[in-house]
Amino acid sequence: MLLHPIRLWLPLWIFLGTAALPLGASAKSFLDVPKTHPAYEAITSLTDQGILKGYPDGRFHPNQPVNRAEAVRMMASEFSPEYIEAFSYSTVFSDVPNGAWYLPYVEIARQNGAIDSPPKSSLFYGERQVTNAEFVKIFLILKRRNIHLFEQEQKPLAPDVSAGKWFYPYLTLALSMNMIQTDAVGNLLPEKALSRADAAVLLHRYAQYASTQALPLLIDAIDENLHKISAHRTGEYTPQAPAASFRAILLAHGLRSLHDSLEHQALQKITWAAGKLLKGEPQEAQKLMKEAKMLSPATVSTYGSSLTRSLQFQP
């Protein structure tokens, strides 16, 4: 089953700073976000849209932690003022005082099932820094994404994300949309505490998924994982290969949901072929590669050449 295209809801709903930028200011003027900063593009884009805000000192403070109270406000503020007001009177959490600025956002998240509530937990822990997995879970649930789409797969997603972990369904879905990516050694870091820069990157990637930028970004991500698979089959063993195969297939699902052209159908066939090759099923892989070539020879030549060479060495 394929994902449906995302309906992008990104009004002025994320308040990461305490004060608005001066008129005309953008991330380009942040003293602590140079063009070489890894989150520069994300912070620039979201600030120029008025989604992120900086501080009166002219800085963005990208390394500043984001706590759970700030996180739920980022994601629940998109609702109408009338809807937010309806949740502003009381909460079931004993550590969220009446009148707290974040109370309505906590209740919106709780009543939408995005955070644990009594009897499982009677405390919200608003001051605790939010983790990567917690942020993704809250975000996808409030966006009403189908978080159960891939949970039956039960395949390792990364060395630090195995099936059975509570965050598995959220991270598989997020990865299919290229919202999250592996680090240099193949990990997804689900329990990493998020900074303001990290949050900006996650939100920016989600926004890109439904934009014209999504297709080349998804293809690049698929190609990166295909290279890891090919290295495994040609003797340059990498323990990341099986997880890379699963990630490529998830990304292909995300790609196909956005664009159903022959080229993207062919790329999906290539990713399936890579999975068959890893399972020791070269004949099935050959069949899928032939189908991909019939759909788009150019796509096979560009993205499937290394797999084609791997198949030539099979008995």
pLDDT tens for 252-271 read: 888 777 766 777 778 878 88
Question: Mean pLDDT in the chain?
Answer: 81
- The answer to whether 147 and 168 are in contact (CB under 8 A) is no
- The answer to whether 268 and 255 are in contact (CB under 8 A) is yes
d(CA 197, CA 34): 12
- How many other C-beta atoms are found inside a 10 Å radius of the C-beta of residue 292? 27
d(CA 15, CA 72): 11
Q: Please report the pLDDT score of residue 232 as a whole number.
A: 64
Q: Please report the pLDDT score of residue 141 as a whole number.
A: 93
d(CA 39, CA 198): 7
- Residue 195, strand partner residues: 65
The H or E element spanning position 229 is: helix 214-233
Position 161: which residue type?
V
Q: Please report the pLDDT score of residue 105 as a whole number.
A: 94
d(CA 307, CA 231): 9
- The answer to whether 292 and 300 are in contact (CB under 8 A) is yes
Find the length of the chain.
315
- Burial string for 224-263 (b: 16+ CB within 10 Å, else e) reads ebbbbbbbbbeeeeeebbbbbbbbbbbbbbbbbbbeeeeb
Q: Is the pLDDT reported for residue 19 higher than 60?
A: no
Query: Looking at 9-18, 68-77, 168-177, 212-221, which range is the least confident one?
Result: 9-18
Tokens of 62: 């990208």
Q: Please report the pLDDT score of residue 62 as a whole number.
A: 95
Q: What DSSP character marks residue 65?
A: B
Tokens of 256: 């196909």
Q: Please report the pLDDT score of residue 234 as a whole number.
A: 60
- The answer to whether 286 and 311 are in contact (CB under 8 A) is yes
Using DSSP's 3-state secondary structure scheme, residue 158 falls into: strand
Q: Please report the pLDDT score of residue 212 as a whole number.
A: 62
Query: Looking at 29-43, 44-58, 135-149, which range is the least confident one?
Result: 44-58
- Mean predicted confidence (pLDDT) in 74-79: 78
Using DSSP's 3-state secondary structure scheme, residue 195 falls into: strand
Tokens of 70: 């700030």
Q: Please report the pLDDT score of residue 170 as a whole number.
A: 96
Q: Please report the pLDDT score of residue 25 as a whole number.
A: 47
- The answer to whether 122 and 185 are in contact (CB under 8 A) is no
Helices (H), 240-304: 241-258, 262-278, 282-295, 297-303
Q: Is the pLDDT reported for residue 286 higher than 80?
A: yes
Q: Please report the pLDDT score of residue 109 as a whole number.
A: 94
Tokens of 190: 């689900």
- The answer to whether 194 and 150 are in contact (CB under 8 A) is no
Q: Dihedral (C-alpha) 228, 268, 187, 282: value to the nearest 10 degrees?
A: -40
Q: Is the pLDDT reported for residue 8 higher than 50?
A: no
d(CA 306, CA 229): 9
Q: Is the pLDDT reported for residue 2 higher than 70?
A: no
Domain boundaries, the chain: 27-147+155-209, 214-312
pLDDT, one tens digit per residue, over 101-156 is 999 999 999 999 999 988 899 999 999 999 999 999 999 999 888 888 887 888 88
Give the end-to-end CA distance of the chain in Å, rounded to a whole number. Answer: 33
Q: Is the pLDDT reported for residue 43 higher than 50?
A: yes
pLDDT, one tens digit per residue, over 239-252 is 778 888 888 888 88
The angle formed by the CA atoms of residues 33, 74 and 118, to the nearest 5 degrees, is 135
